[in-house]
Amino acid sequence: MSSPAVTSKESKLNSRVRGRMAAAPERTPQVFWCPDLVSTRDLGPAGVHAVLDLARIMKSRPADFRRALAGRQIVMFFEKPSLRTRLTFEAGMVSLGGTAMFVDQTHERIDAREKLSDVAHNLERWVDLIVLRTYSQEAIHGMASHASIPVINALSDLEHPCQALADYMTLRERFGDLKSLSLAYVGDGNNVAHSLLLTCACLGSSIRVATPAGYGPDPQIVADARAIAENTGAEICLLSDPHEAVAGADAIYTDAWTSMGQEKQERERAQIFPPYQVNSELMAEAAPHAVFMHCLPAHRGQEVTDAVMDSERSLIFEQAENRLHVQKAILYLLLGGGDRLPARSAHA
């Protein structure tokens, strides 16, 4: 969850954003109730719906938002390589009339040269929002607690909230009603699995996660997802059998068996995960209309076969496209881009 400093930070954020708004005089600047997107838990059910609803509007009417963030600037610090995350944030910010700056942080951690708090206090005086793609979730929490401007988690070892939001946007486009949707995740209980669990819980959907013993999702993430599900009616099931997970499912999702930073485990994982490969045989056990999903990059021939990746059932490029629209919506909401905002969330 957000740090204990969120309340005071929200007050600072509201003050700073109001003072820097470039909106037309007839519009009253507003600030999204969630000052940062450190975790999907920061959004809660109302916030997840708000992002998806706005992303749909932005996708269908991009011209309406071309000057929405004119004069605003974001900076992106990436400790991990990226194709989709970097380009969709850059393209998204530019398409909203703003400016995006990229700092390649892959050579060292962001706090290697100076205290994270010092970095944060510099950045808040130069730009309007910080995007972090890092290893440590604690680094994102720390940046959010120290900086008086919004911070977005663009991937950490614990969560990948922007990806999961784009995934469920893609599923809503394909199936419509997410309440009756059944998603099966097969593979490593990693950051993507965590964010899918939390987003599913917020949407009141159904998810079955199948992982090898010892590679399941983080217990605290599962507990938090189940707590949210108590109010939304979501169904969460943890399994070890991939066949049980995919049986009759509407969508099958997988990710790399070895995430960035786990390279030393690659040989060991290559011996454990083959039964969790998504291939034509496993897909055949899902519903006849079932689709395949992957956050990319994929290791073809490992967690998924070419036959599945390249089939008509694959939504991988629709997912990648929707990263752009979801991130535009997040930027717009966090930067107080306009007055098309929902009521305050009870989960703030």
Active site residues: 133, 160, 163, 255, 295, 323
Q: Give the span between the Cα atoms of 57 and 221, in whole angstroms.
A: 30
In terms of Cα–Cα distance, which of 335, 295, 25, 308 is closest to 165? 295
In terms of Cα–Cα distance, which of 103, 79, 76 is closest to 90? 76
DSSP structure class, residue 155: -
The answer to whether residues 207 and 196 touch, using CB atoms and an 8 Å cutoff, is: yes
DSSP structure class, residue 263: G
Q: Give the span between the Cα atoms of 153 and 131, in whole angstroms.
A: 6
Q: Which tokens in the block code for residue 16?
A: 């700073």
Q: Give the span between the Cα atoms of 227 and 132, in whole angstroms.
A: 27
Q: What counts of helices (H) and strands (E) characterise the chain?
A: 13, 9
In one letter, which amino acid is 321?
E
In terms of Cα–Cα distance, which of 65, 260, 291 is closest to 173? 291
Q: What is the three-class DSSP state of 103?
A: strand
Collect all residues with Cβ–Cβ distance below 8 Å to 275 and sequence separation of at least 6: 212, 242
Q: What is the three-class DSSP state of 238?
A: strand
